[in-house]
Structure 1
Amino acid sequence: MGWSEKRGNTWRARFKLPNGKYDSEPGFLTKAQADAYWQAQETDVRRGDWFDASAGESMTFAEWADQWLATIDVSPDTEYNYSKRIRRLNLRWGDVPLSHITTSAYLVWEKATRRELSANFASAILQLFRMIIDDAVAHRPPLLKVSPIPAVNRRRGKYVPPVKEEVPTLTPEQVEQVAENARAVWGLTGYVAMLTKAYCGLRQGELYGLRREWCYPNWPASDPGWPDNPAGRTAERKRVKAAQERYTDMPALRVQWQHQYVRPVEGGKRKPELVLPKYGSVRDLVVPPFLAKLLVELLESHDSEWVFPSMTGGPLLLTDFSTYIWKPVIKGAEERAARSDFRRPAIGPLEGLEDAVPHWLRHAMKRWLDEDGHPRVAVETRMGHRMQGVEDVYSGVTPTMERRIAESLQERWEKARK
């Protein structure tokens, strides 16, 4: 229960705090104003919305950031990257109490950060800072009443148009040239790897992490399931059964993992690990008939656990892919005697593709499918993207859509070979 007290020529409001103690707010000109204030405070206490102004005084940004990092559930690699960025944030804000972070101080720091750092790194630092501060406001009880970071106002300040990297669209003929050069560098594995990346739209880590049991012709009959599926074992059994029924007459593979280096949160040396694809985009991909035959031939040619082993037979992740594979494929290379039983002939450079990067192969498939008029849901699902809003709720990929995608990709490959 609260009440109002006369103090000289003004009134003060007294009210009970959640911890059982009492607080007061002086300086009201009338009793009605003081009554309205303590009644509002008691309403906030009952709702759990009461803000303790001293909370932001007693906790520094560094203390809250450490607490915040311990509560989030992200991949080890992401948590490690957050911890590195927080150390940089602490250089400016670490000793500052949360309630002392003002809008003007933030804007001065933001301007300096964008000037001193690269555009991508500055955006990552600023985005993380905003996340941490927003969660201090959302915390119950709140540590901040409002965020000192102003909402993004596109109409304020000098307009800077976003910079978008222009990625050329590779034709099927160019992809075939890339694949043939890869055959000269890396043998059959190189040829099939480049075509798989282009015609399945795989990210680089997904190409590295494609294992024998998840690839045609073994999958889906050999599907080992995913024992750590958060949805539970029942949902996983249903998924495996549905895949085995759906892909009885359509060759397909499953993008279950990507292979990447993961650094422990506490630091130390990074280690290669199989982790979920980017954004958790696990997905099933129908492959065109020509690629299905090549995958059969490739898996029969070696006994590695990886579909695309390195030249030495180990994980492709452990190879300097850019130096030993991609650069000779794109820029050409002289004849070289074999280190084992594979001799590399002279390779000519690919004209017009001197600046190409492996990701262009993934871009190519997306644009081919768009040109061929396939439903957006089928294209985005194949890319491992998630659509937003109502479209995501009501749209779905049907077997007919998948067959048509395989047919159109097959047709493009056949034209490129003529």
Structure 2
Amino acid sequence: MGFAEKRGDYWRGRYKVPSGKQLTVVDENGKTIRFATKGEAQRAASEAENMHRRGDWRDPALGQGAFGEYANRWYEAQDLAASTMQNYRRHIEEHLLPEFENKALADILRTDVDLWEKKEKAVYAASSVKTWRSTLHLIFADAIDEGLITSNPAAKRRGRGKRAGRSHDRGPEKAITDALGILLVAERAALLSGRDDEFVAVVLKGYTGMRWGEIVGLETEFARPGSIRVEWQLYELDTGDLVRCPPKDDSYRAIDAMEWLTALVADHVARAKPTPCPCHGKTYVFRGQGVARTGDHQGAKLVDVARRAEVSTGTVSNVLNHPNRVTEAKRGRVKHAIADLGFVRGGAVSEHAAHWRRNGFATWLFTPAVSGWYPKKAPQQPRPVPLLGEPWPGVPARGRGASERADACWLPIAKGLTPHGLRHTHRTVMEDIGTEKVLMDRRMGHIDSSVSARYAHVTPGMRKRLMLGLTEQWETALDARLALCLTSPVRALNNLLLVRASMVQSPRHR
């Protein structure tokens, strides 16, 4: 039983704990409470002793450590995928520590977190702030498990402090396109890169819904007849390293591929003859673009001259090295193309990076293909992609004075479309052709844990109908592209157009 002890002009409460040690009644900061009367001290001591016996007593000194110290210790204790560790580190260092680093854990209140969230939303997207608050919630939850604090100040209370009506935190609707849009974007991306790799990759992404990391990390052994097996992805860290890791949420899956898509990928592999990359020792379907080729800062390449002159790259090489082997007419066309494009021998980078970089692909290939504009890049402002109008749909003019030599530019295809938007596009296309939800989820790598999903199963009939529907979309897009122009400077697409044109003209298709 607690007792009171006289200390000069005040009383203090004392009590004994099961270990036999005597403790003093203290406040939330760990300082001795000075009582004016003996009775008050004795009652407080008895209450503290009972709390000890019930296990409700908590050391006031707990939670007084700085949030920054605990957050750093918490991070070091995690053992997660490299991508997750990178995201946690970014959340903590860039958004949590600037606000809470020097505050004691126990002193951080819900109102402090709400105020921080409001300030962040004034600068960043609401979806990003929500993610950072989730990380903060997780840190506090572990602090509760360690007994450092008793409640989670980052926890959200439903319906408190919110405006009525529709959410104000909704982001803009994701931009999508259609089958013809996929084809045109793929063609433009290949024209910008000067090779067929980007054409095949964009079409593959648009017709499978694969994530970006899954496309970059697609190994040749998993590009199989009739299917694309998703076993790995390459995740790009802030350091620039590409980590080979399982697909997001362990969404291993086999994606059915139409005959024409299987052939497109197989022809690309046969043509590119990929070799094992130096960073992972694996052979990937796609390799990166030239190491130093971004936007229109570099000169035209040999393939650009060949496309402009409508000859093979071998013919251009012969004009440069063995002109007597080429007819006078072809020599003249090649020389005109060299002058038009500003081609400088040895000025283009022939070496290819092992893998695409997300920002480089999106900034210098995909976005200009979608919008027809290069982005702002100091010291240059946003500017249209300069084009030489022939052959259609135009060959990007490169090098010094490209804008002056250009005679056309591209119109936008789908404003705001991103590489991830092709994943949204694929899901929307499947919805449009009536694909069953269970098959869409499996193809996209999504998990539906509802009871109805547990009783739904993919059948061969579902898969066949989807393949037929996607093939019909593809053929309709090819027909629309043929109506625009019978040929393409992109070799892979040009071959497809020639085959499609011959099929449409045959008696069977009339």
Using structure 1 for the length normalisation, give the TM-score. Answer: 0.73
Name the SS for the 1:356 alignment partner. coil
Distance 1:308 1:148, change over 3 A: closer
User: Larger relative CO (CA 8 A, sep 6+): 1 or 2?
Assistant: 1
Distance 1:92 1:170, change over 3 A: closer
Q: Which amino acid aligns with 1:190?
A: E
- Residue in 2 that maps onto 1:282: 252
1:255 counterpart = 2:294: no
1:201 to partner: Cα distance: 0.4
- Residue in 2 that maps onto 1:64: 70
1:338 to partner: Cα distance: 10
1:167 to partner: Cα distance: 3.2
Per mean C-alpha deviation after superposition, the further-off stretch among 122-131 and 23-32 is 23-32
Name the SS for the 1:284 alignment partner. strand
- Residue in 2 that maps onto 1:52: 59
Distance 1:116 1:292 in 2: 45
Distance 2:455 2:285 in 1: 35
- Residue in 1 that maps onto 2:354: 315
1:22 to partner: Cα distance: 4.6
Distance 1:76 1:162, change over 3 A: same
- Residue in 2 that maps onto 1:325: 365
**Which whole-Å deviations, capped at 9, do the CAs of 1:296-322 have from their partners, x for residues lacking one?**
222221211221234555434148323
Distance 1:33 1:368, change over 3 A: same
Distance 1:96 1:189, change over 3 A: closer
**Which whole-Å deviations, capped at 9, do the CAs of 1:313-333 have from their partners, x for residues lacking one?**
543414832354325533264
- Describe how 1:73-112 pairs up with structure 2 within 5 A: 73-88=79-94, 89-112=96-119
Aligned residues: 365
Distance 2:72 2:429 in 1: 46
**Which whole-Å deviations, capped at 9, do the CAs of 1:243-280 have from their partners, x for residues lacking one?**
xxxxxxxx1111222223224xxxxx432332333333
Distance 2:362 2:424 in 1: 18
Pick aligned residue for 1:197 from 173, 197, 205: 205
Distance 1:327 1:406, change over 3 A: same
- Residue in 2 that maps onto 1:14: 15
Distance 2:289 2:107 in 1: 58
Distance 1:292 1:90 in 2: 49
- Describe how 1:175-194 pairs up with structure 2 within 5 A: 175-185=182-192, 186-194=194-202
Distance 1:338 1:60 in 2: 55
Give the gaps of 5 or more residues in structure 1: 218-250, 264-268, 340-344
1:5 counterpart = 2:13: no
Distance 1:109 1:260, change over 3 A: closer
Once superposed, what is the RMSD of the aligned Cα atoms? 3.7
Distance 1:53 1:6 in 2: 21
Distance 2:452 2:53 in 1: 44
1:390 to partner: Cα distance: 3.8
- Residue in 2 that maps onto 1:342: none
Distance 1:276 1:392 in 2: 24
The alignment-based identity, stated in percent, is 24
1:392 to partner: Cα distance: 5.8
1:386 counterpart = 2:447: yes
1:133 to partner: Cα distance: 1.4
- Describe how 1:4-403 pairs up with structure 2 within 5 A: 4-5=2-3, 14=15, 16=17, 21-23=21-23, 25=25, 38-44=49-55, 51-57=58-64, 59-88=65-94, 89-139=96-146, 142-149=147-154, 151-159=156-164, 161-185=168-192, 186-217=194-225, 251-263=226-238, 269-304=239-274, 305-312=283-290, 313-318=352-357, 320-327=360-367, 329-330=369-370, 331=372, 333-334=387-388, 335=395, 349-391=410-452, 394-403=455-464
1:410 to partner: Cα distance: 1.9
Name the SS for the 2:235 alignment partner. strand
Q: Which amino acid aligns with 1:289?
A: E
Distance 1:347 1:417, change over 3 A: farther
Distance 2:78 2:425 in 1: 36
Give the gaps of 5 or more residues in structure 2: 27-34, 275-282, 291-351, 373-384, 389-394, 400-405, 480-510
1:416 counterpart = 2:471: no
**Which whole-Å deviations, capped at 9, do the CAs of 1:89-126 have from their partners, x for residues lacking one?**
33332222222223344444443333355545543443
Name the SS for the 1:152 alignment partner. coil
Distance 1:294 1:350, change over 3 A: farther
CA contact (8 A) 2:175 2:421 kept: yes
**Which whole-Å deviations, capped at 9, do the CAs of 1:349-372 have from their partners, x for residues lacking one?**
255435432222221110111223
Distance 1:64 1:392, change over 3 A: farther
Distance 1:180 1:91 in 2: 45
Distance 1:295 1:34 in 2: 78
Distance 1:390 1:115, change over 3 A: same
Name the SS for the 2:136 alignment partner. helix
CA contact (8 A) 2:3 2:46 kept: no
- Residue in 2 that maps onto 1:266: none
1:413 to partner: Cα distance: 1.7
Name the SS for the 2:476 alignment partner. helix
Q: Which amino acid aligns with 1:77?
A: S
CA contact (8 A) 2:185 2:366 kept: no
Distance 1:347 1:197, change over 3 A: farther
CA contact (8 A) 1:215 1:254 kept: yes
Name the SS for the 2:122 alignment partner. helix
> Larger radius of gyration, structure 1 or 2?
2
